Structure 1
Amino acid sequence: MPQVTSQDGVTIGYDVTGSGPAVILVAGATQYRAVDRTVTPTLIGLLAQHFTVINFDRRGRGESSDKWPYAVAREVEDIAALLEVVGGEAFVFGVSSGAVLALEAAAAMPRKIKGLALYEPPIDPSRSGNAYRYEHMQMAMQAAQGRSDEMMSDFLLGVGMPREALDGFKASPAWPAFAAVGPTLEHDYRILADARAGDAPPDRWQNAIMPVLVLDGDKSFPFMAAGADWVASGLHNVERLTLAGQTHEFDPKLLAPLITVFFQLGSVQVH
């Protein structure tokens, strides 16, 4: 599998599929290529009919290495390294916490990211910045102690997985691959804590001057719509859309054509 070296020496594993303008996919918490066997492969297959699709393991997951201490800027540098692989510019699609990371990258590299699509950035505007910082601190402490299984268990329970379902998951052959990336959850909590440092979206996001599409699903967690609105309120060149019937786990057959049109035309509005 191909790899690229980031600025701090971390190696990032990735795949390339399709041809045409480049699209980089940025995964949310827990996801990487070896464990995602459903949504992302279908999405890649559909997007690859029009684009060169880059799917990578975020640092600390799968075939990508990691280095302490973590900072969001290091993951932005990972995306910068992938941009160089595809000639220096690309579209970017981010999911969940990966959507917030993708936005941080776009704000840092506005001339290299041509368009940005964000699905359900998981920021709850009703919760304080202190609450986000406390959650990150708790995850950072567990990561420092190597409590990978506990971190993954706490995360899954926190997003609504029933205890009995978690117990069944932990007894399955799939559990070790998920639990192995438990420490990287600290990365996702840091991304959200940094974004939620103030009551308003960070001023730096206004550097993301490319077309941005912010999406949520109307069957998702109740706070997702407010979070998507909050993120969109901090951007200049933004379209905001709610997808009917979609949860946090979107249907790629619905989303891929929408993203394709947006990246090709810079808009999904009918004029």
Structure 2
Amino acid sequence: MLQLLEVCKSRASGRRHDRDMLRTTESVESADGTRVVFHLQGDGPPLVVLHGALTTTDMYNGLTDMLASRYRVVVVERRDYGPSGSGPRPAGFSRQAADLGAVLGVLGEPAFVFGHSIGGLVALHAMHETSSAVRRLALYEPPVALAGPVLASALAEIQELVKRDRPEEAIVEFFTAISDSARPPTTLEPIARILAHRAAGLVADLECLTAMEPDLSRWSTLDTQTLLLAGDNTDSYGSKSIDLLHATLPNADLMVLAGQGHHPDDPAAVAAALSEFFG
């Protein structure tokens, strides 16, 4: 979590003015009518980026700046976080998968897809319907180990806190539920303050995650070439999730990035791995 705090601070700042001059923003209507916003930067074959839970698309600026020299990078604002719309509740991965399908449908050619954390689960759920539109798939620690009832009690508490307009406490509750160590709440409060405006999206993501079937066998026949990325300084659910997927996906390679956690603080390492794999 401390890594995520540093990522929040460093990537939300920087060359925003220069980037905004080079980046365009578009939107598409998903199958259920929800507006899905996405940003485009660079030129070349399309590469779609799906952000993780609580994170903002600005936190991927360093990564997308590096990739934009070779690819037309398409960063999706996932539903329920804004500026994209909010769909029916409870949320489900099938609707988020349809969002990705809608974005892929307007790109004009098959794309590379990179999903970080829960963004990786969105990409996986989309593959049954959109695999023909995906050239290669890269996933950074999609948390399959947390699927099903694992976080059900935490979700109930988080929903109640958000309902009572206590988003910072809701985020502390989430980090406490997934953390390997018993950190006192005071150490989590700085990041909770930064990300409080993303609490509604967190609730939606947890609704998707708790409704997800833990059985991964549905992806055992996925033949899309896939790169599984993990950090060697990650949380236990991240490494366990990657091990589960590596044992399930028939056409997947595994790469472990030195010194990186669930929220990698070195975008150059991720960019290099993606560029090598996507080509």
- Indicate the TM-score class for this superposition, using the shorter chain for normalisation: 0.7 to 0.9
Equivalent residue, structure 2, for 1:188? 205
State the AA in 2 paired with 1:192.
L
Query: Does structure 1 conserve the Cα–Cα contact (< 8 Å) formed by 2:158 and 2:171?
Result: no
Query: Does structure 2 conserve the Cα–Cα contact (< 8 Å) formed by 1:22 and 1:52?
Result: yes
Deviates more, 1:247-256 or 1:128-137: 128-137
Post-superposition shift, 1:144?
A: 6.3
Structure-2 separation of matches of 1:142 and 1:67: 21
Structure-2 separation of matches of 1:235 and 1:194: 21
What is the aligned counterpart of 2:93 among 35, 54, 72? 72
Q: Unaligned stretches of 5+ in structure 1?
A: 265-271
What is the aligned counterpart of 1:229 among 238, 243, 246? 243
Structure-2 separation of matches of 1:55 and 1:164: 33
Taking the TM superposition and a 5 Å limit, the aligned residue runs for 1:1-271 are 1-33=25-57, 36-37=58-59, 40-69=60-89, 70-124=91-145, 129-139=148-158, 148-160=167-179, 162-169=184-191, 175=194, 178-195=195-212, 197-198=213-214, 200-201=215-216, 203-250=217-264, 251-264=266-279
Query: Does structure 2 conserve the Cα–Cα contact (< 8 Å) formed by 1:10 and 1:65?
Result: yes
Computed over aligned residues only, the root mean square deviation of the Cα atoms, in angstroms, reads 2.5
TM-score by length of structure 2 reads: 0.80
Structure-2 separation of matches of 1:144 and 1:229: 36
Structure-1 separation of matches of 2:32 and 2:166: 25
Question: 3-state SS of the aligned residue for 1:209?
Answer: coil
State the AA in 2 paired with 1:85.
V
Q: Unaligned stretches of 5+ in structure 2?
A: 1-24
- Cα 1:219–1:169, aligned 2, differ >3 Å: closer, same or farther? closer
Post-superposition shift, 1:259?
A: 0.6
Q: Answer 1 or 2: which has greater helix percent.
A: 2
Structure-2 separation of matches of 1:23 and 1:10: 22
* Partner deviation per Cα, 1:185-230 (whole Å, 9 max, x = no partner): 13322343344x34x42x3223532100111111111342221010
- Cα 1:74–1:53, aligned 2, differ >3 Å: closer, same or farther? same
TM-score by length of structure 1 reads: 0.82
Deviates more, 1:73-82 or 1:204-213: 204-213
Structure-2 separation of matches of 1:144 and 1:71: 20
Question: 3-state SS of the aligned residue for 1:180?
Answer: helix
Query: Does structure 1 conserve the Cα–Cα contact (< 8 Å) formed by 2:136 and 2:224?
Result: yes
Question: 3-state SS of the aligned residue for 1:165?
Answer: helix
Post-superposition shift, 1:13?
A: 1.5
Query: Does structure 1 conserve the Cα–Cα contact (< 8 Å) formed by 2:53 and 2:202?
Result: yes
* Partner deviation per Cα, 1:84-118 (whole Å, 9 max, x = no partner): 22115211101111112211112332111111111
Query: Does structure 2 conserve the Cα–Cα contact (< 8 Å) formed by 1:90 and 1:115?
Result: yes
State the AA in 1 paired with 2:111.
A
Query: Does structure 1 conserve the Cα–Cα contact (< 8 Å) formed by 2:92 and 2:211?
Result: no
Aligned residue-pair number: 250
